[in-house]
Amino acid sequence: MATGPIQVEVYVEDYFFGDKALSDGQNSIEIVQTLAKEAGETAPAPPIELATWDSWFRSWLEALQPDLASEQAYELSLRLTDDAEIQQLNAQYRQKDQPTDVLAFAALETELPLPEIVESEPLYLGDVVISVETAQVQAQQHGHSLEQELAWLAAHALLHLLGWDHPDETSLRRMLQQQEFLLQTIGLSSGYYQEELLA
């Protein structure tokens, strides 16, 4: 059982809000500003700080600790990107040639990692890729902030990294309920779970 606070190292690769032009050469900030303007809204707030991502993932892993093995340190990578790049990844790894909101690539293939690895290194959970472009559209559709949508997608991806899946309606409802719980632990509530129940 865990004896102290969980340590989480989140490596953020921000290819969306960063200064880099994305695959089509257009500035990603311009893309989101255009989407917001078309919806009659203001452009999104500045990107989420690394400390906030760390805090969110730490809170979520602490909340999930009773369901996890007794690891005390975790690592994961988070890449913020646009629709063009996530479409390429979706086609390459899932054979779906279309943009999606989030992809999760779990590093663990076994139920429990080898004890000698756990003792010497943080447990690497895997990689998360989020399309900020799609997240902005979904945030507008659901009437909440981009920050809230990014948190929702990150929580969804974390659950996938930990072995959750939703092959059927019952599993999907359980996962949505768990995501809602995770958002509540960081002071957010998406309302997605209720929307999905009504759909």
112 in a domain, yes or no? yes
95 in a domain, yes or no? yes
- The CATH number covering residue 161 comes to 3.40.390.30
CA distances 140 to 17, 36, 99, Å, are 18, 8, 17
81 in a domain, yes or no? yes
Of the listed ranges 18-27, 124-133, 139-148, the least confidently predicted one is 18-27
Is the confidence at residue 166, as pLDDT, over 80? yes
2 in a domain, yes or no? no
96 in a domain, yes or no? yes
Q: Is 57 exposed, middle or buried (0-12, 13-18, 19+ CB in 10 A)?
A: buried
Q: Which residues of 107-117 are buried (b: 16+ CB within 10 A; e: fewer)?
A: eeeeeebeeee
100 in a domain, yes or no? yes
Which pLDDT score, from 0 to 100, does residue 189 have?
76
How many domains does the structure of the chain reveal? 1
Q: Which domain holds residue 69?
A: 7-198
Is the confidence at residue 1, as pLDDT, over 60? no
126 in a domain, yes or no? yes
30 in a domain, yes or no? yes
Which pLDDT score, from 0 to 100, does residue 34 have?
63
Nearest-CA neighbor of 73 among 165, 8, 126, 29?
A: 8
| Residues 63/182, Cβ–Cβ less than 8 Å | yes
